[in-house]
């Protein structure tokens, strides 16, 4: 009985060991791929000390990628209230002077005409006496007939067709771009103090080139998004003891 128990335990141990070895192998390959990509294109490898500043924390939202001349891209980011934010583009010099814009998306609501409905109605023409007064309708007992609301019912002589136009409205929702910053106006660093948390778009514009050899070149572009925390709710990272 003990031999059977040891055989089962040994079989489970070998299966479990194979799973661990397989998992470690996959993770090591994934790490190698990620690490090699980072070596090829690092987010701040073209940034200067003046670009990054001394107090800004660029962890969290900064991103990078490879682009060719003439490419453009848009990246969404969040600017948090109570902080000082800095956005700067660091790029491979072979790509030329990469420009960028910071865009706020503004929603607009406008009431517009959806369509006009044309209706044909039957307007009653009431009978009148010699004096021009409308003649009330009598019920089966010879009394003046009234409707459920207690209003007098009058005798109808004929109907006249009339047309009525009903305007049907709808709310049109549009999103408009509001340019907060454009590096083509002179400055290449966007600094701001945030009063209210809001999403933004960062549009990166890589200049075109007339050099045929460089048209297919892919260079690194780092979109650096840093902040100085002033929020009382923020707790900085602590080193492990």
Taking the C-alpha atoms of residue 152 and residue 117, their distance in angstroms, rounded to an integer, is 32
**What is the distance between the alpha carbons of residues 171 and 86, in angstroms, rounded to a whole number?**
37
User: 47 and 223 in contact (C-beta within 8 Å)?
Assistant: no
Q: How many other CB atoms sit within 10 Å of the CB of residue 84? A: 16
Q: Residue ranges of the domains in the chain? A: 1-40, 111-170
Helix, strand counts (H, E) of the chain:
2, 8
Separation CA 112–CA 110 (nearest Å) = 6
Local structure of 71: helix, strand or coil: coil
Provide DSSP, 160-198: EEEEEEEEEEEEEEEEEEEEEEEGGGS-SEEEEE-SS-E
Per-residue pLDDT, 37: 39
pLDDT score for 54: 86
Per-residue pLDDT of the chain (241 residues; tens, 9 = 90+): 444 444 434 444 444 333 333 333 333 333 232 333 334 676 567 888 888 988 999 988 999 899 999 999 999 999 999 899 999 999 999 999 999 999 999 989 999 999 999 888 888 989 998 888 998 898 888 889 998 888 999 999 898 888 888 899 999 998 899 999 999 998 999 999 999 999 999 999 999 998 888 888 999 999 999 999 875 554 554 444 4
Instruction: Report the distance separating Cα 70 and Cα 219, nearest Å.
Output: 12
């Amino acid at each position: 009985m003990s031999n059977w128990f040891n055989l089962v335990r040994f079989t489970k141990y070998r299966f479990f060991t194979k799973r661990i070895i397989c998992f470690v192998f996959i993770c090591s390959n994934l790490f190698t791929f990620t690490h090699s990509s980072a070596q090829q294109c690092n987010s701040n490898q073209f940034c200067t000390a003046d670009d990054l500043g001394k107090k800004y924390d660029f962890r969290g939202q900064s991103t990078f990628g490879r682009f060719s001349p003439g490419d453009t891209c848009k990246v969404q980011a969040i600017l948090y209230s109570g902080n000082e934010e800095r956005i700067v583009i660091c790029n491979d010099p072979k790509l030329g002077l990469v420009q960028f814009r910071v865009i706020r998306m503004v929603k607009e609501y406008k009431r517009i005409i959806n369509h006009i409905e044309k209706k044909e109605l039957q307007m009653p023409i009431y009978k009148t006496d010699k004096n021009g007064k409308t003649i009330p309708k009598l019920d089966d007992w010879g009394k003046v007939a009234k409707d459920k609301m207690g209003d007098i019912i009058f005798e109808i002589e004929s109907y006249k067709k009339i047309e009525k136009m009903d305007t049907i409205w709808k709310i049109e929702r549009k999103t408009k771009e509001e340019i907060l910053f454009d590096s083509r106006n002179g400055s290449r660093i966007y600094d701001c103090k945030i009063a209210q948390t809001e999403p933004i778009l960062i549009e990166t514009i890589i200049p075109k080139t007339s050099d045929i050899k460089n048209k297919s070149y892919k260079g690194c572009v780092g979109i650096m998004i840093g902040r100085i925390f002033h929020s009382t709710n923020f707790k900085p990272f602590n080193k492990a003891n």
